[in-house]
Amino acid sequence: MTSSELWSRATAERYDAEETEMSSAAVLGPTVAFLAELAGDGRALEFAVGTGRVGVPLRQRGVPVVGVELSEHMAAVLRRKIDEDTLPVVIGDMATTVVPGEFTLVYLLYNTITNLLTQDEQVECFRNAARHLAPGGRFVIELGVPPLRFLPPGQVAVPFDVSERHLGFDTFDLVDQILVSNHLARDGEDGRYRRSNSRHRYAWPAELDLMARIAGLELERRVADWDGAPFVQDSAKHISVWRKPS
């Protein structure tokens, strides 16, 4: 088992309700189109498939999808949406779990590579992706750029959402590259605030490129969003595509 923190039943049950924006047609449309084009006529493997936010609509588009998911609670929510024969899910971690067969696409979205809290495990995740890819296949990661340039001198916290129903801020351990995402969210029923946090190991695009090289993959493309906007100095995130040589 890796260092990834397990999603609890309570967190899994409310996940979809808290991620309505990321599940909107405006977000999923370009995401699914991007991934479907890369998958082509082959199969896709989603690391950390979760509740099927992307895997289910990608399967509905006609791409055969298999998921790997560490949390049985997240997988149980997915199973209410689609049956096992249509979208199989293997319970296990994304760094070591092996799924039978080859894939033209392996993808890992929404910052989830950072759930692996050590560099060694992140390298193993790349190796695991390469292990599953057919020659010419692609590995795709969606990841935010660490917002360290927003840190005032002497401070280690950066707010990312200050709204009526949610306060979110990240704190940074600059030595071990650990980010703690802190949340205060107000529940709709009683108006009380619920506190939660999660730990992540942030990584820079260049560091991921080196991990890919260790795994035998080559950078093919890097863009700022699913619509293909150029990745520039001020980009808040990147979509990176690495290719397994033919």
Q: Rounded to whole angstroms, how far apart are CA atoms 222 and 166?
A: 31
Q: Which helix (H) or strand (E) element contains residue 34?
A: helix 25-39
92 vs 90: CA distance, rounded Å: 6
Quote the pLDDT of residue 202.
97
CA distance 40 to 105: 9
91 or 2, which is more confident: 91
What order do you get walking across the sheet with 237-243 strand by strand? 89-91, 65-69, 44-47, 103-108, 133-144, 237-243, 218-223
Residue 189: is its pLDDT beyond 70?
no
The residue among 54 and 190 whose pLDDT is bigger is 54
| Residue 233: pLDDT over 90 | yes
Q: CA–CA separation, 108 vs 101, rounded Å?
A: 18
What distance in Å separates the CA atoms of residue 62 and residue 41, rounded to the nearest whole number?
Answer: 9
H helices of 93-163, in order, are 119-132
E-strand ranges in the chain read 44-47, 65-69, 89-91, 103-108, 133-144, 157-162, 166-173, 178-186, 193-201, 218-223, 237-243
Instruction: Specify the pLDDT at position 188.
Output: 67
Rounded to two decimals, what is the model's pTM? 0.95
Query: What percent of the chain has a predicted confidence (pLDDT) above 70?
Result: 99
Estimate to the nearest angstrom the gap between the alpha carbon of 135 and the chain centroid.
Answer: 23
How sure is the predictor about 142, in pLDDT bands with cuts at 50, 70 and 90?
Answer: very high
pLDDT at 205 over 60: yes
Confidence class for position 197, pLDDT limits 50, 70, 90: very high
Question: Nearest to residue 202, comparing CAs of 225, 176, 168?
Answer: 176
Task: Report pLDDT for 192.
Answer: 84
Partnered with residue 193 across adjacent β-strands are 186
Cα-atom radius of gyration of the chain, to the nearest Å?
18
User: What's residue 92's pLDDT?
Assistant: 96
CB atoms within 10 A of CB 153: 4
